[in-house]
Amino acid sequence: MAQPQIHQFACLKDNYGVLVHDAEEGVTLSIDAPDAPAVKRALDERGWKLTHILVTHHHADHTAGIPSLKSETGCTVIGPKAESVRIPCLDVGVAEPDALALGRLEAKVLDTPGHTIGHITYWFPAAQIAFVGDTLFAMGCGRVLEGTPQMMWASLRKIAELPRDTQLYCGHEYTVSNGKFGVSIEPGNARLIERLAEAEAARAEGRPTLPTNVEIELETNVFLRADTREIREHVKLPLAPDWKVFAELRDRKNRF
Ligand code: ZN
Ligand code: FE
């Protein structure tokens, strides 16, 4: 089984760039392209040559670096088919259930709409890694900007149903503010309180709080826990469908 090397680095205000490298095949993937100089620096530090950019969604803080990286390296740009007109230099548009063979690495494309209408997640089953963009964050989730709350809830459930030890790489470092919101919703969740403290300590030392994994999120991410009795009662929607509880939580987070 091919286990790639992964390099995650902070860039822009609070974005993460990620490089995935398979030395044997000389394949290097950039997950999104938030900032070309930061991606180039990360590549140069390791002596890796960019072969592909895997785009999760069209927002500028995930795509602005594409034209410069593409012209410099000739890499192949892969991204959501549903957003092809909004992503610069896109070579290959993909959607669920497409699979990508990238050297020895195999990725499955999952449709995870809601934050944007065509947002996709790249899941590498053998490597047990998923790149979830701005759909799920540590203890949080993306804003529902283009889709509906039902859509976003279904996308989050899809990620939650991946194998529990799947490492999740997210687009942003929002963990501490998400954790504070989470504790306000589920004050009796000891694991969540503990995790917020760990995240605050990590950030105070400038360490990233990501990646996370499915199991940790199931225990501490209130947006994935919209189906639990404690949270339903807290938001006074004991009998509503799960997605309505989720919509209420997302709404409260927007005002938190
Ligand atoms: Zn975004
Ligand atoms: Fe973003």
Domain-wise residue ranges, the chain: 5-255
C-alpha to C-alpha distance for 219 and 18, rounded to whole angstroms: 25
- Out of 52, 57, 58, 119, the active site residue is 57
- Out of 21, 52, 58, 59, the active site residue is 59
How many angstroms separate the alpha carbon of residue 126 from the centre of ligand 1?
Answer: 27
C-alpha to C-alpha distance for 136 and 101, rounded to whole angstroms: 25
Cβ-in-10-Å burial (0-12, 13-18, 19+) of 37 comes to exposed
7 is catalytic: no
Fold of 5-255: Metallo-beta-lactamase; Chain A (3.60.15)
- Out of 21, 58, 119, 172, the active site residue is 172
Buried b / exposed e over 213-250, threshold 16 CB at 10 Å, is bbebbeebbbbbbbeeeebbebbebeeeebbbbbbbbb
- Residue 2 has a pLDDT of 61
- Residue 24 has a pLDDT of 93
Interstrand relation of 5-11 and 136-137 (parallel, antiparallel or unpaired): unpaired
90: left (phi over 0), alpha (psi -120 to 50) or beta: beta
Q: Across the strands, what pairs with 57?
A: none
> What separation in angstroms does the CA of 237 have from each of 102, 116, 197, 208, 251?
45, 27, 29, 35, 14
- Residue 98 has a pLDDT of 98
57 is catalytic: yes
**DSSP conformation class of 43:** H
State which residues of the chain have pLDDT below 70. 1-2
Ligand nearest to the CA of 119: 1
CB neighbour list of residue 151: distance below 8 Å, 6 or more residues apart: 113, 114, 144
Least Cα distance to 141 among 234, 7, 252 occurs for 252
- Out of 35, 61, 111, 234, the active site residue is 61
115 is catalytic: yes
